[in-house]
Structure 1
Amino acid sequence: MDLNLRDIRAFVAVAHAGNFTRAAARLHLSQPALTVQIRRLEEIVGVRLFDRDSRNVALTPAGRDLLPLLQKSLNDMEHVLIDARALGEGSWGVVRIACLPTFAASLLPDLIQDLRKDVPRAGFHIRDVVASQVNELVRNEEVDIGLTGGGQADAAFDVLHTGVDRLVAVCPKAHPLARMRHIRLTDLASVPLVLTAQGTSVRAVVDAAFSDARCTPEVACEPMYMMTAVAMVRGGLGVTILPGTAREVRAEPGLIVRPINDPAFVRPIALIKRRGRTLPKVTERFVAAMKQKIDPAPQA
């Protein structure tokens, strides 16, 4: 037989009460049931724990030695149960997410603050990476959910939500494109472009748009990160194309943002998890909040 929580709780209750009747009342047990638990515990440890007579109950020397050990075990086990219930209720836990840098720098901070108002004990493990890395982190279960770019037909994933991110052109205020209210693909094809590197979800959309139009852009440089692209534009190397949600596009007072009047310049995004995996309750709560903040994809 193994020690169980009820037997340990019974021993501690009798030790503190010094009386079986009072201990049974505290535990909402009958006195015979409590006696059975104490006898079972004594059988398991192989030593008498209490000396009893018709009126008094006293710890034996072995009982005195075991009391602090079993009291600590009881406290530890009860804390484990409390934490386990909190995990199950979603009032505690860690949200492990991989997401596109634009989302991490725009919507994510507000979503974290909102969740922590309701779940102060919520923790966050965040990986802000390009779309291909988001997918790998979810696939390898290094995170539980991922916000990634592009359509998702991979059988390894469940798609929890789909949305869109509209792309915009960013140029210096003195640039000829800055005078236009809306920019067309042909306008972009006529100027040097600073495009994010191959493998990024934004670059995939831009390349597809130019390819479908049978047009070849003039690429001045290809940085990996959006902040670097913005710096290149500030330095006069060309015009960049970024998601409208990117805070980088509004961080520079000398630059201006213009919408692109072409339906091809829309980045699909998807909220994914590993197929067949159960999300922690706190993550489910976070997913529900994310769905409300992400622009939904148009219905086919």
Structure 2
Amino acid sequence: MDLNLREIRAFVTVADAGNFTRAAAQLHLSQPALTVQIRRLEENVGARLFDRNSRSVALTQTGRELLPLLRRSLDDMERVLRDARALGEGVSGTVRLACLPTFAASVLPDLIRTFREHVPRAGFQIRDAVASTVVELVRNEEADIGVTGGDVIDASLEVLHSGSDRLVVVCPKTHPLARKKRIAVVDLARSPLVLTASGTSVRTVVDTALAAAGCTLEVACEPTYMMTAVAMVRGGLGVTILPATAREVLAEPDLVARPIDDPAFVRATALVKKRGRTLPRITEAFIELFLRRA
């Protein structure tokens, strides 16, 4: 049996109207066109659905039994069509985003709030992770887009936007470095460092910058996440180097951030997608907002 939406809608409309002329007007069809649709449905079902004469139309027994079933099918199919159109138009759906914790805790909440003012039905699946994991999630299509750190060398990814984060020294207000307006690389040798673990985008920048400056410094602790690094600095275990945008820094009243007097302490950032993949319309709309804000 090959039923289509037009034939089912025609059947339900005629049944409700009790008249082919009224039903045709409601469906914006000519009466002969409506009659053809009903005849095709009857052929597919294999039974007459209406008894009709010049004055009236009445459902047959088969028609009466089919009406609730086809009405329910019509409602389901129309709901699917509405949802499909909403997805296609970008007014509903889920943005699957992998991103650095720095981005997730600073810029992202405001972006989501602004986006939902225009697309209230938007959902967000957020995977906050270190840069290498962000790249992996996008490459494996577990996320549609990613905000990652460091240079993007993966040929399977397309860079949609490039940016940068300035790195700063974070230390307690009572620390000698807090009295300086800018920190020289040699100043960092006077205190143990709490650096994010090897493999994180921030640590890669720091190691490269220190190597270029010919410095070998004391690394006291190597946590993975910035929040842990900040907690260790607060606990007096040393000073750390983090992006200036890190909200973990702004939320600490007893800590201060000082710029580093070396242009090498800058982390590249990038918005990426899987190369050759078509993104959901809602994700494209979110990217448009991201680019305007960037």
Is TM (by shorter chain) over 0.5?
Answer: yes
Matched, 1:153 2:153: yes
- 2:79 and 2:2 map into 1 onto residues whose CA distance is 20
Q: How does 1:51-62 map to 2 (within 5 A)?
A: 51-62=51-62
Q: Structure 2, unaligned stretches of length 5 or more? A: none
Q: Which amino acid aligns with 1:291?
A: L
Matched, 1:269 2:269: yes
Q: How does 1:25-36 map to 2 (within 5 A)?
A: 25-36=25-36
TM-score w.r.t. the length of structure 2 is 0.98
Superposed displacement of residue 292, structure 1: 3.0
Matched, 1:123 2:126: no
In the other structure, the counterpart of 1:89 is 89
What SS does structure 2 have at the residue aligned with 1:217? coil
Q: Which amino acid aligns with 1:44?
A: N
- 1:86 and 1:36 map into 2 onto residues whose CA distance is 31
Q: Structure 1, unaligned stretches of length 5 or more? A: 295-300
Paired residue total:
294
- 1:195 and 1:31 map into 2 onto residues whose CA distance is 77
- 1:69 and 1:124 map into 2 onto residues whose CA distance is 36
Q: How does 1:1-300 map to 2 (within 5 A)?
A: 2-294=2-294
What SS does structure 2 have at the residue aligned with 1:168? strand
- 2:50 and 2:33 map into 1 onto residues whose CA distance is 16
Superposed displacement of residue 16, structure 1: 0.5
- 2:40 and 2:141 map into 1 onto residues whose CA distance is 44
- Of residues 175-184 and 285-294 in structure 1, the stretch that sits farther from structure 2 once superposed is 285-294
- 1:21 and 1:253 map into 2 onto residues whose CA distance is 76
- 1:15 and 1:7 map into 2 onto residues whose CA distance is 12
- 1:219 and 1:148 map into 2 onto residues whose CA distance is 25
8 Å contact kept, 1:107–1:293: no
Superposed displacement of residue 188, structure 1: 1.3
Q: Which amino acid aligns with 1:176?
A: P
In the other structure, the counterpart of 1:298 is none
What SS does structure 2 have at the residue aligned with 1:181? coil
Deviations 1:7-59 (A, max 9, x none): 11110111001111111111111111111110100000111100111211100
8 Å contact kept, 1:195–1:221: yes
Deviations 1:189-239 (A, max 9, x none): 332100001111100100010111121121011011111111111111111
- 1:189 and 1:79 map into 2 onto residues whose CA distance is 65
Q: Which runs of 4+ in 1 moved over 3 A?
A: none
Superposed displacement of residue 176, structure 1: 1.0
- 2:251 and 2:30 map into 1 onto residues whose CA distance is 71
CA RMSD of aligned residues (A): 1.0
TM-score w.r.t. the length of structure 1 is 0.96
- 1:13 and 1:76 map into 2 onto residues whose CA distance is 16
What SS does structure 2 have at the residue aligned with 1:126? strand
What SS does structure 2 have at the residue aligned with 1:277? coil
